[in-house]
Structure 1
Amino acid sequence: MHDVYLYLHLLAMAYFVGGQLFLAASVVPALRGNPDRESVRAIARNFGQGSLGALAVLVVTGSAMASDQHLWKSGTLHAKLALVVVAILLVVVHARQPGRHVYEGLIFLVSLVIVGLGLHLATM
């Protein structure tokens, strides 16, 4: 089952982090200055809904892998989990204040650190 958990975990991570990168690097610049703000909102809303699903998959599969590998006492895992909580809080705040674009950048930076910690855990 470990390979299934890992596959689903990586797929959800790719959606969450890759989607952020795609939005920041392609969608937002392409639509900047476009008076049709509703298109941007629809794209962001759809990505947000998918991100919630991806976060749920990440939590379930990450918990399963941590249990399988007996990582619950790992300081690296604790740091990663703390940042996951920070990322979730930032997503909630950003959903309530979508005009504050600083949250998008913070979510992306925290996500990159989480990925780095996950890579470190994978090599332990």
Structure 2
Amino acid sequence: MDDQTLWQLVRFLHLLAMAFFVGGQLLLAAAVVPVLRGNDPSGAMRRIARSFGWGTLVAIGVLFATGAAMAGQYGRWSDPQLHVKLALVGLVAALIVWHMRRPDLRVIDGLIFLLSLVIVWLGIGLAH
């Protein structure tokens, strides 16, 4: 595998993990929560959210590993925009763990989603 193909693969994995993370949040907010809220005697929403939470933590791990590799490859470690993005990623990871322990705190959902959108925005800026 040549160098260019390797870095395309790393970027692909980064974008795939980001799509899982943000896309899953959109699916939960737009479809799962409105359908199951208040009408979920089996606890399906809690199980879905918990599973997604674990998947999200895996996605954050992939994002961290691939992002760190790309930051090194493209000389971005001194970029203040990257520093802000990394701080927000850390904050989102902490919020996810908190939310998994306290799923009744709905405001955490909104914070995670808004911060995720800011992270994506910063990532687009770093990519160009």
Which residue number corresponds to residue 113 of structure 1?
Answer: 118
Q: Distance in 1 between matches of 2:101 and 2:37?
A: 21
TM-score, scaled to structure 1: 0.96
Residue 21 in 1 paired to residue 26 in 2?
A: yes
Cα distance, 1:92 vs. partner?
1.5
- Number of residue pairs matched? 123
Which residue number corresponds to residue 75 of structure 1?
Answer: 80
- Which runs of at least 4 in structure 1 moved beyond 2 Å after TM superposition? none
RMSD (CA atoms): 0.9
Q: Deviations over 1:57-95 (max 9, x none)?
A: 000000000000010000110110111111111112111
SS across alignment from 2:75: coil
Q: 1:122 aligns with which of 90, 111, 127?
A: 127
- Give 1:1-124 correspondences, 5 Å limit: 1-36=6-41, 38-123=43-128
Report % sequence identity: 54
TM-score, scaled to structure 2: 0.93
Cα distance, 1:52 vs. partner?
1.3
Unaligned 5+ segments in structure 2 are: 1-5
SS across alignment from 1:98: coil
